[in-house]
Structure 1
């Protein structure tokens, strides 16, 4: 694996390899001393042009727990704030001799463009409304773990997963559909017509505008954040009406079939797309997804920078 720019770039074999190694990496999180020597001497730069808590922190922990040197660069504290272009920033950092670059950017395609400018591995940590491949991987990791609590051999293949909410602006949805379909899941997208992405009819999914009709059939309900910062208005009348139609409320919890899991990539708008009862329910995987993010990103970094000599 040269770069990780899109979930569509991963074969099922590669996904399973990443998830299986992440299972081993997750054991590090329970240790008193959370260190492996796998990437000692390597340098990873986290180049974030958008605000982030979960993704940036977990990439930093992942690198440090693998003994890599990790440098965080944000747009506000870099020469970008002085007018430097993305190309010059990427080439400047690459010229310093770093081994990998993790990029989060508001422009779709920015990490792919960076990968074309440099020879070092580039990881897409979220680009505009395009993709967020490591989020899809950690979601799959958390879902598979949930399934294996009742069946140690369970896989995601054949399971029905609903992705609900602001699909138009969601890079999580796009990566999730691609990766979960690669693993054999059945996907149903649920949203008001105004939040269905352009061209969604060609995606390998089923579509619904009725959340209540779908909830009782799914093994996983993945709620998406309503990205109000990307909206100019007109997508739904009021927040209250959105919650009534598409929020995972206390009443809707009872409609989930026994054993169905609740996911949310975060940050959550409690009371809008998900109620506090749902977010904190026993079947909620929200915090497990956060924990999975470190293990999965450790696995991804090792797949990109590790090798037979390190083993």
Structure 2
């Protein structure tokens, strides 16, 4: 499976991932994609290990994907629901994590609305000299590594189904459109895509795409560009990734209206005419139909990779759990 020795105990951010690590994840995920196509979709690689999904924030896709990935690897799973937990009685997040550690947990998948919580739990596990690996499933406005890796896998398998790898994206133009400021998905994708040597073009209203994002492109293999108009970002793009517009931003007066946002930055068939003829569209979900992307375009398999992203998510998360847990198997 993996072509390079895996040394990471935790996966919190992609900012310091090396190209060889991306390729290891991609090639391991390709192996598990083949497993998922079989009649018997289970392998015993993590049998006897415990994966705890500690989701302090609501989630459907990510949580279900991690749970299924763990079960496909034959691991035992524990699912945490904050509303029915001791957090309501005053227990701290670190105490909750240590409780799961005491139960024999080997891997913790953490999602939290505040940035830094997965890192804090990883630091506590290291301080306790445990061998528990921590995987960030999305924290605040920080990062969402597994989503960016499944996006990368979706694109690379389209370009080379047999051997997905990072260098396939060198010199490709990829547009990321929408609420960049509040998107942990965008941040992780910026790190992974610029590591590949791709041209990454960010587009959004000035209130949702501040100039400070230009610093993310420094000292990276690829190039990063900022646009406050959609057209230059889409011009000759190979891939377009549109982000969920978080409607709660409307109360912060960052946008005049959803209709105006769609008129200026919504992805439609007409706007895709600016892109390469074989352009593909991605969206991490959940989708606000008719806001970030037109409903007909979202359901068109000629352009949309959205369903493939969901499928890729299980294989990629199997790969991450396997790589992080195989040393203890």
Q: TM-score, normalised by structure 1?
A: 0.95
**Residues 107-153 of structure 1 deviation map (CA, whole Å, 9 limit, x = unaligned):** 00100000011131100000001000000100000011122269988
Helix, strand or coil at the partner of 2:15: helix
Structure 2 equivalent of residue 132 of structure 1: 144
Aligned match for 1:185, one of 180, 198, 213: 198
Helix, strand or coil at the partner of 1:271: coil
Cα gap change, 1:70/1:152 in structure 2, threshold over 3 Å: closer, same or farther?
A: closer
CA positional deviation for 1:89: 0.8
**Residues 25-44 of structure 1 deviation map (CA, whole Å, 9 limit, x = unaligned):** 01122122210010000000
Report if aligned partners of 1:164, 1:191 keep a CA contact under 8 Å in 2: yes
Report if aligned partners of 1:50, 1:104 keep a CA contact under 8 Å in 2: yes
**Residues 163-205 of structure 1 deviation map (CA, whole Å, 9 limit, x = unaligned):** 1000111000000000111122111100110101462131211
**Residues 78-127 of structure 1 deviation map (CA, whole Å, 9 limit, x = unaligned):** 11122221111111111222101000000001000000111311000000
Cα gap change, 1:152/1:222 in structure 2, threshold over 3 Å: closer, same or farther?
A: closer
CA positional deviation for 1:216: 2.6
Equivalent positions of 1:109-188 (< 5 A) are 109-118=116-125, 119=130, 120-148=132-160, 155-188=168-201
Helix, strand or coil at the partner of 1:8: coil
Aligned match for 1:235, one of 254, 272, 276: 254
Helix, strand or coil at the partner of 1:72: strand
CA distance in 2 between counterparts of 1:176 and 1:183 reads: 11
Report if aligned partners of 1:104, 1:125 keep a CA contact under 8 Å in 2: yes
Structure 2 spans left out of the alignment, 5+ residues: 1-7, 218-223
Aligned match for 1:108, one of 109, 112, 115: 115
Cα gap change, 1:91/1:293 in structure 2, threshold over 3 Å: closer, same or farther?
A: same
Cα gap change, 1:303/1:149 in structure 2, threshold over 3 Å: closer, same or farther?
A: closer
- Pairs aligned (count): 309
Report if aligned partners of 2:27, 2:163 keep a CA contact under 8 Å in 1: no
Report if aligned partners of 2:234, 2:275 keep a CA contact under 8 Å in 1: yes
CA distance in 2 between counterparts of 1:123 and 1:27 reads: 24
Choose 31-40 or 245-254, whichever is displaced more.
245-254
Structure 2 equivalent of residue 29 of structure 1: 36
CA distance in 1 between counterparts of 2:201 and 2:142 reads: 19
Helix, strand or coil at the partner of 1:71: strand
Aligned match for 1:293, one of 295, 301, 313: 313
1:8 matched to 2:15: yes
Structure 2 equivalent of residue 76 of structure 1: 83
CA positional deviation for 1:15: 0.7
Cα gap change, 1:69/1:179 in structure 2, threshold over 3 Å: closer, same or farther?
A: same
CA positional deviation for 1:9: 3.1
Cα gap change, 1:152/1:12 in structure 2, threshold over 3 Å: closer, same or farther?
A: closer
Cα gap change, 1:284/1:190 in structure 2, threshold over 3 Å: closer, same or farther?
A: same
Structure 1 spans left out of the alignment, 5+ residues: none
Choose 68-77 or 294-303, whichever is displaced more.
68-77
CA distance in 2 between counterparts of 1:2 and 1:255 reads: 43
Helix, strand or coil at the partner of 2:52: strand
Cα gap change, 1:261/1:151 in structure 2, threshold over 3 Å: closer, same or farther?
A: farther
1:42 matched to 2:49: yes
Report if aligned partners of 1:38, 1:66 keep a CA contact under 8 Å in 2: yes
Cα gap change, 1:168/1:62 in structure 2, threshold over 3 Å: closer, same or farther?
A: same
Equivalent positions of 1:206-217 (< 5 A) are 206-217=225-236
Helix, strand or coil at the partner of 2:169: coil
Q: TM-score, normalised by structure 2?
A: 0.90
